Structure 1
Amino acid sequence: MEALLEVVMRRADMAATQPAQVSGLLRLSGGANMESWLFRYGDQRFVLRRAPSAEWIATRPLDMGGEAELIRRAFAAGVAAPDVVAELNPEDGLGIGFVMRCLPGSADPEAALGHDPQRAAILAEDLAQAMARIHALDTAGLGFLPRLDPAEGVEGLARQFADAGGDRPLIALGLAWLRRHLPPPADPVVVHGDFRIGNLMVDQGRLSGVIDWELAHLGDGHEDLAYGCMTVWRFGRLGQQAFGLTDVESLARAYHAAGGEAFDPARFRFWLVYRTVWWALGCLSMGQDWRSGTDRSLERVVVGRRCAEQELDLLLLLESEAPEAERARPLPAAPAPAPASNGEPSAAEILTAVSEWLASTVKHTLAKDETLVRERWELAVARNALGIVQRELAGRSDPADKALADDLLAGRQTLATPGLLADLRARALSTLSADMPKYPALAAARLLWERH
């Protein structure tokens, strides 16, 4: 792979009198969709960004050539974005993608969120300014970008829901709400589409660049504002709704001061619910990607079980619209736990033993080589997968209920239906406890709901 990259870099570095060599090739961790490879060319660092397969990229509204072109335009317009230096050709033998200069800093959430409140507020202002600059990009000549109309987007989500079985009541609840709360049309701007902690490079507490532009489109700038405020992208900083850094009001003021439009709370709430439904369905689609062979990575099936996170978040977003009596109704009684076995080890116990072995033996082996960053991350994913299976064997309630989902979509049942909110709360707690018990919002929701 290094030899193939050298050909690409020498093509891009036409002015060099002495071609350099590629070294230090390293697969980076993370990235639910694209692959990222860090390498050196001479004394400079670069990142290869490429699609996992041609079949996968063919399903995307924006191809990688369009993504590279948009990043170039953003970089030229003064947006903190990477400098794209080369695009891959079929004859390069490296797949589909492009090479960009490596930005300083890290995309690790701890690099962004592990600061005192004053530095966090400064970083939030950096993000607000970057969003405002992206939304101010000239849309002329950007006809290759897909356009997201709210009504069309909601119906697209509804079709995706139906294709996934149409049987998750909490997603149906969100879709029904979206259909009732469509915002008026907004002047289209360039929307990054994945502007959140984890896709933002941070260096010494300041924003150094915005990466991962694969979901960019033309639409409502409030979508970017809302997306980074989703609970999942706060990485445990539940009290700081805006990117885990500050409050929404402060973010909105900074965005407006940087040239962004005036904040509209109704549009913000619509997009917050929309993107929560969108990501719930996106998680479900990961499992289908694995089944179809488009991407057989272990991460796909594990992310597929993160749908329960978004279902919990949806209910927390929408339950305020239920009557007070329903919000105060206690949870239904939980089933009694199964008695512990004193006989042969159960399947769940065997999985626990395998996970502990991986943690002690394999982790120790990987720790000896500092370059195995991706492998250590995949080990964590594998242990997570074993835990999911272990908890399912111990007793996971089925989150599917097609009849209830149909009723919610049709409006035959709502949050005013006696006992429905309590039932949905219990379902959300049960499913998420089995699938992703460490999700930070789970403990907060349990504390809130179980006190009634």
Structure 2
Amino acid sequence: MSIAPDELLDGLGRVMACAGLTAPSDLVRLTGGATMESWRFECGDDAFVLRRAPSLEFMKDRPFGHDVEAAVIRAAGAAGVAAPEVVVELEPDDGIGSGFVMRALPGTPNPKDILNMDEPDRLLSECAANLARIHSLGRDDVPQAVPVMDYRAVIADLKRQFEEAGGDRPIIALGLKWMEDNCPEANEPVLNHGDFRMGNLLAQDGWLTGVLDWELAHFGDYHEDLAFGCMAVWRFARYDRPALGLGDLETYFDAYEANGGRKVDRKRFRYWLIHRTVWWALGCLKMAAIWRSGEDRMLERVVISRRTSEQELDLLMLLEEDAPEQERSRLVQSPSAAPQVGEATDGELAIAIHEWLGTVKDRFEGHDRFQYAVARNALGMISRYDATAIPAFENAPLARQAMSGEATLADTGLLTQLREAILATIMQDVPKYPALAIARKKWTGKE
């Protein structure tokens, strides 16, 4: 449910009074948040953060509510994890939806700032130690509503999501088939944070100060948590640092094991790296459906849906490791745009608006400034769109062949075809995505 800041502040007054605190003030919406809203405010000399769902409807299909999430955070804090202190949960009578209030922690969540901090190896070790503490929690430590992952059932659900989204992305189909063929046997389930990555971590002066956003917590394979933050998308251009963008994998694994974590199996780690890349690709794709349904009309959702190509690029780079050397060694041509003539195209109109918005940037602040940046990204995508520039092939039939195993990366020319298509696609969607430069150099032989 959409709510005005003044109304939200009034509701927070009732909430904080029940917690024995003074009236809130200085309410500001924080940037980011593709699923939940975050609002910072003060009560006297203390700062707090409200974590809130965009609507009650949004919570209906989620595995558990904010009351369970709050309990998981409290359990993690008791285990020594740098989790925030939950002060109070929202109640229906508060009239401001579903969520809870946390005491604000020091530090920044900005990945670029964190990745530029001194002593990244120390911070990496702290992250590993916190994961080990999270994974020490058992079923009796958190509410029974926290689900246990069934690996095969999750793959089946991802296949269903793929078909609902059109079933026409061959690279994702190849990933789903690879997951079916390589899914490991279940090991002893441990509590997973489920979203342990840059963007959900706070740091200050090279020290970890907070682990945020526990809405995806579940019991499963600890390798899943280890792998998720190592996905290329969460390393923010740090291809030289495969572990969370902070360091090397050996340092990460050694620190995890030294702090009470279980032995790391490299094969299982790779499985979950691919699994979560497919999962996030479909998560991005799903954002458009959520927006279309009216469930949440946040601008960021439609823009994220066009970032599916980022994950397809990363996924192909992971999957091609299993392709024959003969196919991997084939180089492709880097796509180039045709010169424009005549009247302004739709894309050029979008560029003009994009450029004009750049002149009014200083008029925005807080969450509006974040939305402004998202809007400019959307215009950039529109300005670059040219369907004729993407190599044409029958996506849906090829995706079905990949899903059935009829088409594989061992087939002559298929890897080349997919490389050409995803390069052209991502150059339109997100040309500044760091992996694009890596892939272009690897696949075309040119910078």
TM-score range, shorter chain: over 0.9
Superposed, 1:412-451 pairs within 5 Å as 412-451=406-445
Kept in 2: contact 1:348–1:394 (CA 8 A):
no
Provide the residue aligned with 1:224 in structure 2. 225
> Are the aligned partners of 2:243 and 2:252 in contact in 1 as well (CA < 8 Å)?
yes
Q: Is the 8 A contact 2:170 2:398 kept in 1?
A: yes
Aligned to 1:308: 309
1:406 aligns with 2:406: no
Alignment-derived partner of residue 187 in structure 2: 186
Q: Give the stretch that moved more between structures: 59-68 or 415-424.
A: 59-68
Question: Deviation digits for residues 94-148 of structure 1, max 9, x if unmatched?
Answer: 11100010011111112320124xx100000000000000000132153210111
1:33 alignment partner AA: T
Q: Secondary structure at the match of 1:147?
A: coil
Deviations 1:324-377 (A, max 9, x none): 11111222685x743321x322211111111111110x21322xxxxx221111
Is the contact between residue 290 and residue 296 of structure 2 (CA under 8 Å) also seen in structure 1?
Answer: yes
C-alpha offsets along residues 131-175 of structure 1, whole Å, 9 cap, x if unaligned? 000000132153210111221211111111111111100000100
SS in 2 for 1:45: strand
| Aligned mates of 1:3, 1:400 — CA distance in 2 | 55
Distance 1:400 1:243 in 2: 36
**Amino acid across the alignment from 2:290:** D
Question: TM-score scaled by structure 2?
Answer: 0.95
- How many equivalent pairs are there? 437
1:191 offset after TM fit, Å?
0.2
* Residue number in structure 2 paired with 1:204: 205
TM-score, scaled to structure 1: 0.94
CA shift digits 1:384-414 (9 cap, x unpaired): 0001111114755379700000000111111
> Residue by residue, what CA displacement relative to the aligned partner does 1:31-77 show, whole Å, maximum 9, x if unpaired?
11100000001110000000111111112112211111111111122
- CA shift for structure 1 position 82: 0.6
Structure 2: distance between partners of 1:85 and 1:380: 32
Contact 1:168 1:400 in 2 (8 A): no
Q: What is the match of residue 386 of structure 1?
A: 379
Judge which range, 133-142 or 274-283, deviates more. Answer: 133-142
> Match of 2:427, SS?
helix
* Structure 1 partner of 2:4: none
Separation of aligned partners in 1, 2:80 and 2:332: 52
What's 1:16 paired with? none
> What residue in structure 2 maps to residue 357 of structure 1?
356
Distance 2:158 2:85 in 1: 34
Which SS does the other structure have where 1:374 is aligned?
helix
Counterparts of 1:284 and 1:399 in 2: how far apart (Å)?
Answer: 20
Secondary structure (helix, strand or coil) at the match of 2:133 reads: helix
1:7 maps to a residue whose letter is R
Listed one character per residue, the Cα deviations across residues 158-214 of structure 1 (whole Å, up to 9, x for unaligned) are 111111111100000100111111112110110000000110111211111100000
Counterpart of 1:128 in structure 2: which amino acid?
A
How far apart, CA to CA, are the structure 1 residues paired with 2:74 and 2:164? 36
User: Could you say which residue in structure 2 is the equivalent of 1:132?
Assistant: 132
- Name the CA distance, whole Å, in 1 between partners of 2:129 and 2:247: 15
- Which amino acid in 2 is paired with 1:365? R
Task: Decide whether the 8 Å contact of 1:332 with 1:422 is kept in 2.
Answer: no
Please give the alpha-carbon distance, in whole angstroms, between the structure 2 residues aligned to 1:188 and 1:400: 41
1:241 paired residue number: 242
Q: Deviations over 1:301-327 (max 9, x none)?
A: 000011000000001111111111111
- Residue 446 of structure 1 and its aligned partner are, at CA, apart by 0.3
Q: Which amino acid aligns with 2:355?
A: E
Task: Quote the RMSD (CA, aligned, Å).
Answer: 1.5
CA shift, 1:21, in A, is: 2.4
> Tell me, which stretches of 5 or more residues in structure 2 are unaligned?
1-7
Identical aligned residues as a percent? 51
| 1:60 equivalent in alignment to 2:62 | yes
2-side partners of 1:148 and 1:427: how far apart? Answer: 34
Instruction: Return the alpha-carbon distance in structure 2 between the equivalents of residues 312 and 279 of structure 1.
Output: 12
Q: Tell me the equivalent position of 2:30.
A: 28
Q: C-alpha separation between the residues in 1 aligned to 2:47 and 2:394?
A: 47
| 1:346 matches 2:345 | yes
Q: 225-234 or 136-145: which moved more?
A: 136-145
Contact 1:399 1:431 in 2 (8 A): no
In structure 1, what is the equivalent of residue 87 of structure 2? 85
Other-structure match for 2:259: 258
Structure 2 distance, partners of 1:338, 1:127, is 47
